[in-house]
Every structure is written in structure tokens, then in C-alpha cells.
Amino acid sequence: MQRISQVLTLALLCTALGGCSIYKLSMRQGNVITQKEMNSLHRGMTRSQIKAVLGTPLIQDPFENNRWDYVFYYRPAGGKVIQRTVSVYFQDGKVARYTDEGDIAAASHIHQNEQFLRGQQEERQNRKRKPLPPTQSPSPVVPSGPQT
């Protein structure tokens, strides 16, 4: 009897602990900057032009007003962290130079996949919103033959 009790307790414990697995979510933060956007950067651009091309920087150092950092960070569930940092340096309010560090190809690949998935999701939503074609109402039934 005691042996059966131990086996049942062990089975119950294993069942309960089997449901306690840790689920990790993918996490994406920061600015995704494409190669096309990087190709449009050049020396002499103003701060407003940089914001128009790259968006608002993730980090603006209050002590270093002449540097903007655009950071992209992605941690897939249980995978390797991908990070990319684009730093833009200003001199007299215009771009003097910029740097691009990190896993550039992987960050671009993630961005392309997200755009593809977003496009598929929008397509599904648009299909749901499309109005159905109007149906033809049945023509009135006219009795034929003699009426009484």
C-alpha cells in the first residue's frame, strides 16, 4: 500500500512539474535601419534631415550633444542576441561622420522578415474587410395558370 502511494505521489509530482516549463518570448527593441537608409546618409546632412531618414534616435546623450545613437537589439526565444548600433556624429549641426557596428546582415534579415509577416497580416485583414458582392434578390414568384 505504501509503495502504491509513493508511485502515485511521484506520478502526480512529475505531471505537475511537467507543466512548469519556462517559455521565453522573442524581444525586439530599438531602431531598425535598412541598408537603403544607410546608403542615403552622407556628410553635411542636417539633424532634421537625419531624423527624416533614420527617425528619432534611441539614445541622445545629454552630455554629448554632437552624437546620436540608433540601437537595434533582438533576442529570439532561446537564441543568439543580435545587436546593431549606428552612431551619427555632428559638427556645427551637420553630419561629420557615422559608424555602423554589429550584426548588420542579421538585423536587416529580421527587418525583412517582419515586413513580410506584417504584409501578410494586413492582407488577411483587408480580405476580412472587403464587402461581399451584392446578392441578387429573388424575382417575385408569379403564379401561372388559372387563378380562382
Look at residue 116 and tell me whether its pLDDT is greater than 60. Answer: no
Closest CA to 79 of 106, 115, 116: 106
Instruction: Render pLDDT for 95-111 as a digit per residue (tens, 0 to 9).
Output: 999 998 877 666 666 66
What does the alpha-carbon distance between residue 87 and residue 135 come to, in Å, rounded to a whole number?
A: 59
pTM over 0.85: no
Q: What is the pLDDT of residues 44-90, one digit of tens each?
A: 999 999 999 998 888 777 888 899 999 888 887 777 788 888 999 99
Confidence at residue 146, expressed as pLDDT on a 0 to 100 scale: 65
Kindly state the cell numbers that stand for 45.
546632412
* 4-28 residue pLDDT tens: 777 667 766 666 555 565 666 777 7
Q: Cβ(33)–Cβ(54) under 8 Å? A: yes
Residue 75 identity: R
Residue 135 banded pLDDT, cuts 50, 70, 90: low
Confidence class for position 92, pLDDT limits 50, 70, 90: very high
pLDDT at 91 over 90: yes
Q: DSSP secondary-structure letter at 22?
A: P
- Per-domain boundaries in the chain: 22-121
Please give the full DSSP string across 86-142, using - where no structure is assigned.
Answer: EEEEEETTEEEEEEEEE-HHHHHHHHHHHHHHHHHHHHHHHHHHSPPPPPPPPPPP-
Could you tell me which CATH number the domain at 22-121 has?
Answer: 3.30.1450
How many other C-beta atoms lie within 10 A of the C-beta of residue 68?
23
Query: How far is the C-alpha of 41 from the C-alpha of 31, rounded, in Å?
Result: 16
